Amino acid sequence: MASSLDTPRAPRLPGHSIAITNDYMAHERTVLIPKELLAFTYMKLMHNISTRHHANGAAHDTEYESAAARALENWMELRAKEAYRGTRWALEPENTTYRVCTELKGPKGYSEVTTMLWMCELVKANALYECCVVAAHSGIHPGRVLDDAGKSLLFKAVSPESVGLFTREFDANDPSPGFGEVDLKIRSEAGMTCLHYVRSSAIAEALVRAGADVNARNNGKSTPLFYAEQPALVKTLLKLGADPTLVNVHNHTPAYLAASHGYWDVVFFLLRAGASATAPGAPPEGRQGLLAGDPLVLMDRLLAGVPTPDGRMSFPTNRAAIAKTRGLLRLWNECGGDGSEFEARAAAIAHRLIAQEPAKALADACGGIPVELAEIILRDFVGLFTKADTLLDPAQVNGSWHRRRRQLPCLPTRGREDDV
């Protein structure tokens, strides 16, 4: 039985451009594929599919061939205008078509499998227009592309634009049409969905908006939240509906795995969302606690050191982060799981730590700027934000922020004795 990808649909022209990033133009990171050029590429693809799968159906072939010719004619007229002169699009589609056709005559076009792997590499490089041209001239719809591990192009996506390109239908009424029909339910050999591999909040939002299941489980019953290592991604997944209370086949929660790796900031947001680092029914201590999902038992053992065969003790390289995570979990237990009290007490502790060395804390938070620069910022600017009226537009109050700067005691600085 023929799939929907094998049966061409009636030609539909796009209504607008789609945002695409192309790594071949380093000085032009984000560009727009003109709608006429995208229409020509899509119709060229559907024409080739029609030719391959409908050898005796000349009506389909003629229909898409004439649609591609009209789209190309429209694009030729448009690219001659002033707006496209001197841009990369003034040389398209000839430029990319020549390069793609040359490669298709070599090893990359040796078989359908090698061409699919090439398309996967192009999506990983975010060279999306070239991937579309490869599809058009090879007759391989992006929805059919799988790598050697059974992963679709969405597993390779490194931008939300690529998600839109391969999930949106080619519809004239869609403001951002795409090639569509890449199945979001495709899983790898380990049962992973494309959302399990995401490390970007923007891509996660694009996938869920396209229909991906934020609580999809792999073969080990782990959801995408189990693999999130960055606080921003964790917050995004939680906002999109990820359940932080689920456990995998090892009876571990997302918070347990984050704690075992020392991701204390991830643990903080998971606890705020109502998660528990300890799996339901896990004994609090002993070897059974370690196996059943109590992260404090695991972290105590890691921080105490693990004996090596030569008699020495081995410690984790992120020992400080694990110690910080252990303190955070103990604070959570002391608060009895009360989120409001936990947040207030954690903020009080953070305030005391910052007050000890405020310049160093600010320097670290700003990505490691010089402490001397952080001292100047604290002395000259932080006082601005101690009153609500200083957050107003300077035009709404008398004077500028600099004139309304709060007079604070001068912090001890190196080489400056002038007062604020």
Same domain, 177 and 270: no
DSSP state of 227: G
Q: 37 with 136: CB under 8 angstroms? A: no
H-run or E-run covering 133? helix 128-138
- For residues 224 and 42, what is the distance between their CA atoms, to the nearest angstrom? 33
Q: 22 with 96: CB under 8 angstroms? A: no
Same domain, 101 and 55: yes
Same domain, 341 and 370: no
> Residue 420 has what pLDDT?
32
Same domain, 385 and 309: no
Who's near 349: CB < 8 A, 6+ residues apart? 331
Same domain, 292 and 365: no
Q: Which amino acid is at 331?
A: L
Q: Which two tokens stand for residue 203?
A: 């891509």
Same domain, 371 and 350: no
- For residues 90 and 69, what is the distance between their CA atoms, to the nearest angstrom? 18
- Full-model pTM: 0.74
End-of-domain residue from the set 339, 356, 373: 356
> Residue 53 has what pLDDT?
57
212 inside domain: no
97 inside domain: yes
Nearest to 205 by CA among 233, 175, 227, 167: 233
323 inside domain: yes
Q: Which two tokens stand for residue 100?
A: 């793609």
The 10 Å CB-count burial string (b at 16+, else e) for 388-403 is eeeeeeeeeeeeeeee
Angle at 188 between CA 145 and CA 199, to 5 degrees: 95
Q: 254 with 279: CB under 8 angstroms? A: no
CB burial class (10 A; 0-12, 13-18, 19+) of residue 228? buried
Q: Which two tokens stand for residue 419?
A: 């007062």
End-of-domain residue from the set 334, 356, 378: 356
- Domain hosting 403: range is 357-420
What is the chain's percent helix, strand, coil content, to nearest 5? 55, 5, 45
Nearest to 178 by CA among 35, 68, 74, 75: 35
Q: 320 with 254: CB under 8 angstroms? A: no
Q: 206 with 241: CB under 8 angstroms? A: no
176 inside domain: yes
> Residue 416 has what pLDDT?
42
> Residue 41 has what pLDDT?
82
Q: Which two tokens stand for residue 401?
A: 């922020």
Same domain, 79 and 147: yes
Q: Which amino acid is at 66?
A: S
Same domain, 167 and 303: no
Q: Say how many domains are in the chain.
A: 3
Give backbone dihedrals phi and psi of 231, rounded to 5 degrees, phi first.
Answer: -55, -40
H-run or E-run covering 340? helix 339-356
End-of-domain residue from the set 182, 204, 235: 182
Q: 160 with 20: CB under 8 angstroms? A: no
Q: Which residue has the tokens 């990808």?
A: 5
383 inside domain: yes
188 inside domain: no
> Residue 164 has what pLDDT?
83
Which parts of the chain sit beneath pLDDT 50? Answer: 1-4, 6-30, 57-59, 283-292, 388-420
**SS3 string of 159-178?**
CHHHHHHHHCCCCCCCCCCC
Same domain, 369 and 340: no
367 inside domain: yes
- For residues 138 and 61, what is the distance between their CA atoms, to the nearest angstrom? 16
Return the SS3 of 200.
Answer: coil
> Residue 176 has what pLDDT?
63
Same domain, 273 and 402: no
pLDDT digits (tens, 9 = 90+) for 149-162: 888 999 998 888 88
Cβ atoms within 10 Å of 253's Cβ, excluding its own: 25
- For residues 104 and 99, what is the distance between their CA atoms, to the nearest angstrom? 9
Same domain, 310 and 322: yes
102 inside domain: yes
DSSP state of 100: H
Same domain, 308 and 332: yes
pLDDT digits (tens, 9 = 90+) for 32-72: 677 778 878 888 888 887 776 555 544 455 677 888 888 88
Question: For the packed helices 35-53 and 58-79, what is the interaxial angle rounded to 10 degrees?
Answer: 160
- For residues 183 and 168, what is the distance between their CA atoms, to the nearest angstrom? 11
> Residue 24 has what pLDDT?
37
